[in-house]
Amino acid sequence: MNTPAASPRQALVTGGSRGIGYAIAAALVASGHQVTITGRNPDTLALAAKELGAVPVAFDAADPASITAALPSLPATVDVLVNNAGANTDFTAPDAEPDDLTALADAWRSNLDTNLLSAVLTTAAVEPRLAPDARVVTIGSIAARRGAGSYGAAKAAVEAWNASLSAELGPRGITTNVVAPGLTLDTEFFQGHLTSERERTMIGQTRTGRAGRPADIAAAVCFLASPEAGHVTGQVIHVNGGAHLGV
């Protein structure tokens, strides 16, 4: 008597069309997951999904209405949720006068929406669909420990939220962790704001003498997403070559 093949685990990766998110999605596909990637640009998303062999679902992870509208297209059961969507919105914000408090408030809210609320809202939306042994992994940043204005504050808030989330979902066997990259090249993160001098300085702060790569982050995510990581939860895993020690 033939035993039916087990269905592949379902993974959902926000911001999966490029950079770190693309690398994570590719690694999850390679390990046998059925992957759904999300993003705000339908055309970019569709192209990435075709390359990856993934399912594209376009929505804005920081917009409650956009997430709600996309829910019918998302997997009915989610075994792995990777909250990767995020960016330092200060890099693309218009210059403002130092005493313009309205602009300052807008800049802080933008980074909080993009990096914290995107993870909070997406996780809350799919929480009823999380499998009993699901894995939730959120991408943080070394900036949460080093400081980087509103971006660093938003990523620090991600760590605090993850700690609460681990207590909330732990009784269901669900783990929640943060992977915090350091300097990671081959992405669009810096939007042209990384000078050669700054890059050399940041590499000089590592113990490994090199910048990170998207594949480095993907490898850490894949471990935390695996069934073998069932007793690792509420943690912040630093992937930065020793530029910041996890203390």
| Catalytic annotation, residues | 151
208 contact partners, CB below 8 Å, separation of at least 6: 241, 242
Q: Rounded to the nearest 5°, which phi and psi values hold at 226?
A: -85, 155
DSSP for residue 75: -
Q: Three-state SS for 108?
A: helix
DSSP for residue 94: P
Q: By CB neighbour count within 10 A (0-12 exposed, 13-18 middle, 19+ buried), where does 125 fall?
A: middle
Alpha carbons 87 and 139: distance in angstroms, whole number = 11
